[in-house]
Structure 1
Amino acid sequence: MVVERHDLDGPDGLDALLEFTRRTWTAVSRWHVGDIAWTFGQFNGPAPGTRTSMWREHGRTLAAITAYGAERQDGAVLTFHADQARPDAADTALTWAKTAYPHMAVGILETEHHLGAALARAGLRTDPGDDGPFFLAHRVTLDGTLPPPKPAGYLVRPVHGRDEIPRRAALHRAIWAPSSVTDERYRTMAARPPYRPEFDTVVEDPGGELVAYCLGWYDEANRAGLLEPIGTLARHRRRGLARAAILATLHAFREAGGDTAIVHARGDDGYPIPRAVYPTAGFTPFARTRVYR
């Protein structure tokens, strides 16, 4: 069988990437449809500064690689995903990548054993002693033990449809300044699946200002939700508002039929806040990312 490479170039390619991610997702996977929608949905195709290649057979995607910073002197940073049932496609993708990005670093979740095996076959290795920045995967079971979100004096609610997108995008920019998220980019992302406003939770102060949020993404096929991203305005922090937004989003997942939710956050000592926040909402860490070079 011939596996051919195609670069992500528009909405059709994005649909194929989302289908591939949904079809191959497992409870120990790094990438969820929400990651793809957040990264590429604002552009309806490739994100600026990235190149995404997909390997297909008869129109069915079997592997994908996204390269960030290919022009950097120290090499590109790659994300890599492949169908567990087709190690040949993983090998084909990595053979191409070694030529396209000779000094690459590839990050995967340590539980993605089939990807680690493919990287090892390609001659890449990980440093077990690497204590640099890494991401820690957390998950929570969506059952009756979820506490209700009750921040005193604040209203926790979903976004009021697409009409509220300018306020919602402005909140993101205020929290994460400088940010490239424009009203138009947010509107583009919200115009297509898997975005749904009932999973886009905001926190409103007594004066009606939006001050915190949690953006949720729900994969109906796998009954799994993802949180990405989350934030609170600096002057409203340390009041439990992010936790309240997270809990409200988890309840929305559960009401939609979800049975699990995941979040990937920094786990190293350089950014310790997420390690303290997510366990308070019921999340348990289960794996970290590893970098192969």
Structure 2
Amino acid sequence: MSGRPYAGSSDLRTLQDFNAAMWQAHGGVGWMHVGDIPHRIYNALGRRGFHPSEVVRIWETNGVVAGWAMIWPRSGGIEVQVPPDSPQLAVEAGLWACEAVVAVGEQHGHHAKSIVMDVVESEPNMVDLATGIGMAVDQREGSYIVTRQAIDRPPQVHLPRSYSVRAARGVGDAAALAGVHSSAFNSDWTAESYARVMESPGYEPSREIVVVAPDGSFAGFCIIWMDHENHIGMFEPVGVHADHRRRGVGMALMAAGLSRLSEHGMVHAMVTHETDDPASTALYAAAGFLPWYRYVAWSKAL
């Protein structure tokens, strides 16, 4: 078995196929959705200047993926995607991640004070890995709830008068998308940086749904992702512009997204949110999502 860095867009499909197979074999808990892989590599990490080869490492046996890991150098976060029957590989991947997240972070001018991994405590292999690389539960860090629903009858889309919903149309929408993303999450997107995301592997404008305000600006957005092997869709991210909150925009996005997921053969949908975020909790519950499992932060000081 040997490890190597992520080598390009062909590896995206390789990792997606691996995770879809692991999801099918192990039930999905703790496994990254196939849509989260490009979202994290090219959106969350890419826009901060991290090259995929710096933050993703793949382990293979005779050319077949055995597991992989991802690092978050700004925050000290690590993620390990290794099947439960490969505990030695999990520790190897975890130790690589612990070293790499510090080294890459320092190369980019970031100096995390601890290494953090989100753990599903109902999964013994994840607890064993965290313990094996010297971590313990960190009460200072937040937790995340993964919610899920069966898509039976997608809700109707209801919007205020003169608002409409549609799919993004390509990089021509990049400036408007940068504006709504930045407002929703208090971030620093520009038209140029969001255009790069739209041109990255895995992104399709047709899967970014927007609510258009009467003045033509974007009032909200969501991106839907589809695992066609396991028939489960995912919302990531979902956001509403600060000027258009409490008008039903978020619910309209969820309804439109669920409808499109159903049209494409998805049987279930999932969305993850911070445990202590009351707005997200209320929105997703109202849209029919129920708690599935929870991630708890484990860490070790540097």
Counterpart of 1:22 in structure 2 is: 20
Residue identity matched to 1:167? A
Q: Name which of 186, 198, 205 aligns with 2:206.
A: 198
Alpha carbons of structure 1 residues 81 and 252: separation in structure 2 relative to 1, 3 Å: same
* In 1, Cα distance between equivalents of 2:47 and 2:64: 19
Which amino acid in 1 is paired with 2:271? V
5+ residue gaps, structure 1, are none
Match of residue 106 from structure 1: 117
Conserved? CA contact 1:34–1:226, under 8 Å: yes
Q: Is the 8 A contact 1:141 1:261 kept in 2?
A: yes
Unmatched 5+ residue regions in structure 2?
103-113
Count of residue correspondences: 281
Q: 2:173 matched to 1:164?
A: yes
User: What's the offset of the Cα at 1:42?
Assistant: 4.2
**Residue of structure 2 equivalent to 1:33:** 34
SS class of match (2:223):
strand
Q: 1:65 aligns with which of 69, 73, 78?
A: 69
Indicate the SS of the match to 1:28. Answer: coil
> Equivalent residue of 2:243, what SS?
helix
Q: Which residue of 1 aligns with 2:151?
A: 142
Kindly indicate whether the alpha-carbon contact (under 8 Å) linking 2:78 and 2:116 is maintained by their aligned counterparts in 1. yes
Change (3 A) 1:89 1:253: same
1:126 counterpart residue number: 137
Identify the match of residue 211 of structure 1 among 213, 219, 230.
219
Which residue of structure 2 lines up, in the alignment, with residue 55 of structure 1? 59
Contact 1:5/1:54, CA 8 A, preserved across alignment: yes
1:284 aligns with 2:290: yes
Pair 1:245-2:256 in alignment: no
Matched to 2:36, the amino acid is D
TM-score (norm 1): 0.83
Q: Distance in 1 between matches of 2:244 and 2:82?
A: 41
**2-structure distance, mates of 1:19, 1:13:** 10
Distance 1:282 1:211, change over 3 A: same
Residues 186 and 21 of structure 1, relative CA distance in 2, 3 Å threshold = farther
The code of the aligned residue for 2:19 comes to T
Partner Cα distance (2:294, 2:12) in 1: 27
Percentage identity across aligned positions? Answer: 26
Q: Distance in 2 between matches of 1:155 and 1:63?
A: 43
Question: Would the alpha carbon gap of residues 184 and 112 (structure 1) be closer, same or farther in structure 2, given more than 3 Å must change?
Answer: farther
Distance 1:116 1:44, change over 3 A: closer
**Following the alignment from structure 2 to structure 1, what is the Cα–Cα distance between the partners of residues 98 and 180?**
40
Q: CA–CA distance in 1 between the matches of 2:101 and 2:185?
A: 30
| Partner secondary structure for residue 104 of structure 1 | strand
SS class of match (1:37): helix
**How far does residue 150 in structure 1 lie from its aligned partner after superposition?**
0.8
Which is further off, 276-285 or 155-164?
A: 155-164
